[in-house]
């Protein structure tokens, strides 16, 4: 079973490894239901989905009839203005077949333009805050990608009292000195304010480039169990973060297996060897 810890100030004891439901975007209901069995077998009790993840919310909906109380349920909206955000919230609740979610997140607020759009009067943040007042979500969060996101999340935490943030985190990404500094600053603030920190892109090997994708991920992931063990254990070696699983249901069991066996963080020497052996390349630029 995978270790659990308090998900920030929510008081929910979430599995350290959160199910990233982007993996359900293009699979059948039968494949989805088999994935549920895998999650339950490892004690995963937290789902992170989004309205933009294809059919993921639709696939999760039938689970909620019997398993709503087994999962902390989070979704995301990509809308930038108030009205579109409300449309997205209502649609997500319908697709998930629930009357509320546990966490509602502003999705991919990763550059200054998007940040200004969602945070300004009449922006999506107003809809999210209103949804919380109406009981349609218990908590709110903000997510993003790229190397500017840690610094942007710090701005977001100054703007609103978010309960959770989500951003990339891996050994190779933390070689970017500016990102590493921003990430540590963000982590310090989140620790002080008891904000949950979710991490993504832990299994990145390299961009697909000209190669035909063979997995349902927009980057080429690590595949071998021993390599996945190193990447997963490195992330879980930071006690202040959660790891969101990669977006492919066939790699998911290997990630969960690694998480269930976590004991200690690999050394820098082990991680450097992994980078060399797998010819790993960051999907975001390094300094």
Q: List, in order of start, the domains of the chain with CATH numbers.
A: 4-277 (3.20.20.100)
For range 34-41, the mean pLDDT: 96
Q: pLDDT per residue over 129-147, tens digit each?
A: 999 999 999 999 999 999 9
pLDDT over threshold 90, residue 55: yes
Q: pLDDT per residue over 168-183, tens digit each?
A: 999 999 999 999 999 9
The mean of the pLDDT values for the chain is 96
* Of residues 217, 219, 226, the one with CA closest to residue 257: 226
Asked if 107 contacts 76 with a C-beta cutoff of 8 angstroms, the reply is yes
What is the per-residue pLDDT for 287?
A: 54
pLDDT over threshold 80, residue 259: yes
Q: pLDDT per residue over 15-27, tens digit each?
A: 999 999 999 999 9
For range 152-180, the mean pLDDT: 96
In degrees and rounded to multiples of 5, residue 10 shows phi and psi of: -70, -20
pLDDT over threshold 90, residue 285: no
Confidence band for 192, pLDDT divided at 50, 70 and 90: very high
Percent of the chain with pLDDT over 70: 99
What is the per-residue pLDDT for 210?
A: 85
Which of the pair, 3 or 217, is modelled with greater confidence? 3
Q: In this structure, what token pair is assigned to residue 190?
A: 């989140």
Confidence band for 286, pLDDT divided at 50, 70 and 90: low
Asked if 28 contacts 216 with a C-beta cutoff of 8 angstroms, the reply is no
For range 234-245, the mean pLDDT: 98
Sorted by sequence, the CB contacts under 8 Å of residue 43 that are 6+ apart come out as 1, 2, 4, 15
Q: In this structure, what token pair is assigned to residue 125?
A: 């943040």
Confidence band for 278, pLDDT divided at 50, 70 and 90: very high
Q: pLDDT per residue over 76-92, tens digit each?
A: 999 999 999 999 999 99
pLDDT over threshold 90, residue 261: yes
Asked if 125 contacts 86 with a C-beta cutoff of 8 angstroms, the reply is no
């Amino acid at each position: 079973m995978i270790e659990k810890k308090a998900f920030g100030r929510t008081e929910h004891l979430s599995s350290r490894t959160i199910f990233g439901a982007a993996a359900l975007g293009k699979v059948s209901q039968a494949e989805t239901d088999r994935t549920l069995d895998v999650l339950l077998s490892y004690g995963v009790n937290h789902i992170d989905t989004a309205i933009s993840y294809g059919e993921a919310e639709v696939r999760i909906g039938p689970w909620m009839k019997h398993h709503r109380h087994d999962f902390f349920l989070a979704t995301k909206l990509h809308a930038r203005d108030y009205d579109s955000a409300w449309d997205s919230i209502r649609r997500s609740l319908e697709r998930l077949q629930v009357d509320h979610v546990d966490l509602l997140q502003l999705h991919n607020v990763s550059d200054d333009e998007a940040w200004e759009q969602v945070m300004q009067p009449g922006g999506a943040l107003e809809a999210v805050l209103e949804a919380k007042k109406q009981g349609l979500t218990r908590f709110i969060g903000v997510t993003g990608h790229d190397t500017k996101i840690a610094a942007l999340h710090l701005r977001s935490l100054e703007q609103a009292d978010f309960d959770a943030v989500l951003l990339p985190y891996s050994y190779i990404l933390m070689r970017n000195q500016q990102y590493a500094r921003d990430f540590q600053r963000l982590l310090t603030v989140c620790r002080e304010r008891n904000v949950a920190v979710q991490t993504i892109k832990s299994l990145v090997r390299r961009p697909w480039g000209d190669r035909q994708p063979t997995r349902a991920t927009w980057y080429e992931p690590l595949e071998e169990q021993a390599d996945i063990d190193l990447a997963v254990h490195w992330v879980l070696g930071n006690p202040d973060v959660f790891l969101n699983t990669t977006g492919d249901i066939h790699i998911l069991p290997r990630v969960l297996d690694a998480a269930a066996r976590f004991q200690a963080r690999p050394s820098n020497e082990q991680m450097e060897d992994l980078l060399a052996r797998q010819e790993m390349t960051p999907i975001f630029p390094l300094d």
